[in-house]
Structure formats: C-alpha cells, structure tokens
Structure 1
Amino acid sequence: MVSMKKNLVLVVCFLFFFQWAHAQAPGCAFTNPLIPSGADPYSTYYKGYYYYTNSVGGDRIILKKTKSLADLKNAETKTIWMPPPNTMHSKELWAPEIHHIDGKWYAYYAADNGDNNHHRMYVLENVSEDPFEGEWEFKGKLATPSDKWAIDGDVFRYKGQLYMIWSGWEGDENGEQDIYIAKMKNPYTLDGERVRISKPTFDWERQWKGGPEVYVNEGPQFLQHGDDLFIVYSASGCWTDHYSLGLLRLQGDNLLNAGHWKKYPLPILATSKENGVYSPGHNSFFKSPDGTEDWILYHANSHPGDGCGGKRSPRMQRMSWNTDGTPHIGTPVSTQEQLQVPSGTK
C-alpha cells in the first residue's frame, strides 16, 4: 500500500511538472507588451493568419502577418502604403485598420497635410486574396456632406448593412471629440449625414490636464456578442494617465438613433498602478484561432506620464462576459505576468 501511494505521488508530480513545463515552453506562453512600441493596434483573422497593423511614424501604413499575435515580434512585416507628397492625405497617418469585405481588402486610416485641422478618413482597396500581394489602390476620402474633422474610423456589418463609426468634431475647431456613425453605400462611400451618438459627459471622460483643454471620446470599436451590439471607445486625453475605455450598448433597433445607445457610467478598462500599466486604450478585438475565446488588443504605457508618444506598446489579454451580457475585461495585466496563448494557436 505504501508503495502504491509513493507511485501515485510520483505520477501526480510528473503530471504537474509536465503541465508546468508545457506552459513555459516557447510558443505556449507570452508576456506583454507584444512589441516595444505601437499605438492603436488592430488585427483581422483570415484563413489561418492574423493581419495586424498599428500607427507608425505618421508617414506610412505597415502590415504584419502571423499565425500567433503572441509572437508578433517575429511577424513578417511589409509597408503597404506610402502616400504621395503634397496632398491633403500625405502626413500624420493615424490608427489604420484592415478589413476583408465582400472578397476584397480595405485599409482605413486618418491623414492630413501636416495640419491636424485637416484630418479626414481615407480608404485603400486591394483585390488580391492575400493583402501582402497585389496593389493597394487609393479609393479616396470617406466623408459625409458636412465633411468635418475625422479620425479613428471602424467599419462593421450589422444585419446586412455596413456602418462606419469614428471620432470627430461637431464644428471646425478642436474643443471636443465625439463619436459619430453613418451608413455606408459600399466599403469606400458613406451614405447620408453623420449622427453623434456619444460625447464626453462623465468626469473620467473629461480629464485633460497636462495638455490642451480638450474633452475626448475617440477610437470607437464595434463589438458584437450574440444578439448584443456594443461600441467600446477611448476617453480622456491620451497625454494623461486617465486614458481609459468606455462602453456603449445598443438598446433599440436603429444604430443611427442616439437615443438607442446606452452609455455606461464607469470605464471598463483603466490604469492599474499596482500592475504598472498606464493609460490603456485605443483597442480592438479578436478571437482565438479556434474561435472559442475572445481577446482584446490595446495599447498602454509602462510608466506614469509617458503620454501619447512612441512609448505606447500593444498588449493583449483574454476577456469574458458578465451575466448582463456586457464585456468583462478586468484589470490590465502586468508585464511580469505570463499568459497562455490563445486557444488553437499553432
């Protein structure tokens, strides 16, 4: 009997060690940040690969291709667009996104001529199966008839209709950034006038000290879970340590009716001094390769006061869902914490 107990203990210890070793093996665990620098991270999963992009330098759009976002540092990288000089979209290229829509690839980004007052949304198209191949064609500016300042566009299809959401000014001066939505005729044309569905109203959305007196809602992202549709957005000045994520929820059937969007009173992701993560924001979402897990991509700083510059780095962590159907992200994880790679990663 004593011998059997000893053997059982040895088996248990072996299994524990095997599981621990497997978790520590290369490719099975990772830590944040994914790469040292990269604001406004976005990815699209298509036929076994994640196609990832983030803001870089303001003069180009880059694309990364990888089977595992946890291994982003080793991803194949390519510059897919450098705008021609001396145009209204030659400089300050911000927050690019890449989408696969109706069999074609589209890259959405904000740009201007070097004067932030002229920022607008623009779109490229690529008809190749692989966005690393073929040519990216400039399709033009995405604007509603009012043609106001616009950045941080995101595109989503809901019940057969394409929509774009973005951050914009109500007038022609920079005093507040709000969230707007419009229908799309096709992936490169807006349809009708914009509708404002969110503006900074809570104290945590109106933190600006240390920078210009501007209240901010920006970086909106659609998120659908079952029959529920959400918009997750960034709030407060990115130059502050108060930059964080807020939540809107559709509570009607008309996305263009501001009254059908409920805003939650508290942020769903915010600075964690305990974990050494500051100003988490400008996020996007993705599923694990096998489709069983939901994950969030976001950028953050590792020290207070790092602001809006090149110290922002992309991070990711698994998320879940609350009993009321809302997304649960929790606290931004420490750079010291080892995380399991998304399920189905090869």
Structure 2
Amino acid sequence: MENDVEELLEPLIEQRADPYIHRHTDGYYYFTASVPQYDRIELRRAKTIEGLASAQTRTVWRKPDSGPCSELIWAPEIHHNHGAWYVYFAAAPSREIKSKLFQHRMYALRNTNANPLEGEWEFMGQVDTGIDTFCLDATTFTHKGQLYYLWAQKHDDIEGNSNLYIAPMKTPWQIEGAPMLLSRPEFEWECRGFRVNEGPSVLKKNGRIFISYSASATDENYAMGLLWADENANLLDPASWTKSPEPVLRTCFEHKIYGPGHNSFTVAEDGATVLLVYHARTYTEIEGDPLWNPDRHTFVKPLRWRDDGTPDFGRPSLG
C-alpha cells in the first residue's frame, strides 16, 4: 500500500490523453498519445522517461480532409512487430455525415526505418475484425511466438458501448480467426455514464498475463479494471481468464486526481521496475462534453506487487 509520506505526482506531459510509452532495444523511450485536436499522430523519443516531457515531437501522420479515417484520431500506440514499427489507431469517417461521427474503425501504419521518427510511414489500411461496428483502442502483444491483437468493440447483441476482444494475428495489420470476447461491462463501476470496457494494455510478469482496461464515462467515473490468465493457458479460451470484481485504480478525491485510465506499461531506466503510464484530470468542473476537454494529462508511477504476485496499482495521486 502507499506510504503517506510520498510526494504527490505531477503530470509528466500535459494535455496528452491515452498515453503509450514503449521502451525499445535501441535504448530509447518512444511516446505517443491522443492530441487535443484529434487530427494527427505525433511521436517523440528520449533516453529517459523524464526526457520525454521536453523531447521534440514529430507529426508522422495527419488525417485526410475526407474519407473513412478523416475525423477524431484516437489513442495511437507504437509497437515494433516482425521487424518493423507499427502505429495502431482509431478514426471516424468525415463529420459531414453526423450519424457517422462516432463510428470509429481501427487502422495501422508501418515504418521500416530503424528510427520511427525518420523514414516514411505507410498507411496499411483498416484492421478488419469481421464485426462492422464501432471499435477502437487496439494494442498488440507477442506470447510464445504468436502475435495477438487486443481491442474494444461494440457488439449489437450486447448492451453497452464496447467490450474487449482478442484474436491472433496473421500479419501485424491482419487478424486471423474469429474474435474472442474477453470482457463486457457488468459491474456497477464499469457502467457509470456509459457501459464501457476499453483501453486494454498487457503486462507479462510472475507467470501470468495481466490485462488492464478502463471502464465507464471519461469523467471522474473513469476507472481501471484487471483481467489475468496463467502464462501457459490458452489465451483464446474465455475460461482461462479471471476478472477482478473491483476496480484496481480509480479517482482519488482526497488529492484531486480524477478519472485515471487508458494506461500502458513500460519499464524504468533500471530495466526492472514496471511503470504505470496513464491519463487523468486534476479537476472535475468540465464545461461541455468531457471528450473535448483537453486537460487529460499523462502521469507515470511505479507499479507495486503483492505477495501473491499480482500488481498493486495503489492510488493515482501517489507514486
């Protein structure tokens, strides 16, 4: 549990939601996130976590003026899969058709250069899940030589806005086989404002595969949940997964850190300490739709571990 003498955290990077930090074998940390304008994908890199705050940014892709991926560029992630760099993101069709504004689909970009801030980014098209509904927040991970795709998507037969799905990948931009439903909003804390499971992130440690995710509306009700499976289990079997009935990270009203979520995991410069990367707000008096409020900031804190080998997320306001 937290030590009361620890200092309160300050944001690492302001006005960057849905943060993703990847530490690569070249010794650099790579950072991307949703920008407040939702109009482009930015990358930055640094030798240290702290260095990301002042690192120069490069716009590697900008939305077209019209078409299926021309609005609301959300939650990019950068991964190095099968020898190349990939950015996975979600985008909506042109807002000229208002009914299509929140009809996101998922897309991939590829760069074969050793440094993803250089070279050319190739648009690889839509990552088709076989279900033609609202979807977003894709991530990938490799386990026992198999690349997996993990994402959030609405299903017409399931009440709510989005559920979590997993599928193996044939290539880093194509899934293979039918998606497996991993989690749906079912607990009260997952259904505040909206019935949402989204923003999955994977952590492999202590003989288990952990998947964190976010739930509820994107205001102070936003909170994080956790799934886990044994590392030797069939990850495509729903019976392999256990779901925490309680959130693992939620608003800290005492210290005014609100709506923590949409996280990723990385490691500290020591190569061993697991770091939790997430966004949160520092106030609740949001004018209008929380979606358009720019003040979701990137925070980073060490993840702790319980004696049983499960992660202890603590509170967002303490390191």
Q: Is TM (by shorter chain) over 0.5?
A: yes
Aligned length: 301
Q: Which amino acid aligns with 1:123?
A: A
Q: 4+ residue runs of structure 1 moved beyond 4 angstroms?
A: none
Answer yes or no: is 1:106 the counterpart of 2:91: no
For the Cα contact (< 8 Å) 1:48–1:289, is it kept in 2? no
Question: Which of 93, 111, 117 does residue 126 from structure 1 map onto?
Answer: 111
Answer yes or no: is 1:192 the counterpart of 2:170: no
Report the 3-state secondary structure (helix = DSSP H, G, I; strand = E; otherwise coil) of the residue aligned with 2:57: strand
What does the per-residue CA deviation read over 1:143-202, in whole Å, with 9 as the maximum and x for residues that have no partner?
Answer: 122333210001000111111111110129983311111110010111112111101111
- C-alpha distance in 1 between matches for 2:158 and 2:64: 27
Q: Which amino acid aligns with 2:51?
A: D
Residue equivalent to 1:261: 241
Residue equivalent to 2:4: none
Q: CA deviation at 1:53?
A: 0.5
Structure 1 gaps of 5+ residues are: 1-28, 209-213, 340-346
For residues 173-188 of structure 1, the aligned pairs below 5 Å read 175-188=160-173
Question: Which of 223, 244, 255 does residue 244 from structure 1 map onto?
Answer: 223
- C-alpha distance in 2 between matches for 1:312 and 1:264: 25
- C-alpha distance in 1 between matches for 2:21 and 2:317: 20
Q: Which amino acid aligns with 2:92?
A: D
Answer yes or no: is 1:58 the counterpart of 2:43: no
- C-alpha distance in 2 between matches for 1:50 and 1:165: 22
What does the per-residue CA deviation read over 1:82-127, in whole Å, with 9 as the maximum and x for residues that have no partner?
Answer: 1332210111110000011122100000011132443111000000
Residue equivalent to 1:318: 302
Report the 3-state secondary structure (helix = DSSP H, G, I; strand = E; otherwise coil) of the residue aligned with 1:75: coil
Q: CA deviation at 1:295?
A: 0.5
- C-alpha distance in 2 between matches for 1:294 and 1:181: 24
For residues 213-252 of structure 1, the aligned pairs below 5 Å read 214-239=194-219, 241-251=220-230
For the Cα contact (< 8 Å) 1:88–1:118, is it kept in 2? no
Residue equivalent to 1:42: 20
Report the 3-state secondary structure (helix = DSSP H, G, I; strand = E; otherwise coil) of the residue aligned with 1:204: helix
- C-alpha distance in 1 between matches for 2:281 and 2:157: 31
Identity of aligned residues (%): 41
Structure 2 gaps of 5+ residues are: 1-6
Q: CA deviation at 1:289?
A: 2.0
- C-alpha distance in 1 between matches for 2:127 and 2:166: 12
- C-alpha distance in 1 between matches for 2:223 and 2:64: 35
Q: Which amino acid aligns with 1:311?
A: D
Question: Which of 261, 278, 298 does residue 298 from structure 1 map onto?
Answer: 278
Residue equivalent to 2:190: 205
RMSD value, Cα: 1.9
The structure richer in helix per residue is 1
For residues 133-172 of structure 1, the aligned pairs below 5 Å read 133-171=118-156
Report the 3-state secondary structure (helix = DSSP H, G, I; strand = E; otherwise coil) of the residue aligned with 1:72: helix
For the Cα contact (< 8 Å) 1:281–1:300, is it kept in 2? yes
What does the per-residue CA deviation read over 1:303-345, in whole Å, with 9 as the maximum and x for residues that have no partner?
Answer: 12443321110001011211222111101126xxxx6xxxxxx
Q: CA deviation at 1:229?
A: 0.3
Answer yes or no: is 1:286 the counterpart of 2:266: yes
For the Cα contact (< 8 Å) 1:120–1:149, is it kept in 2? yes
Q: CA deviation at 1:67?
A: 1.6
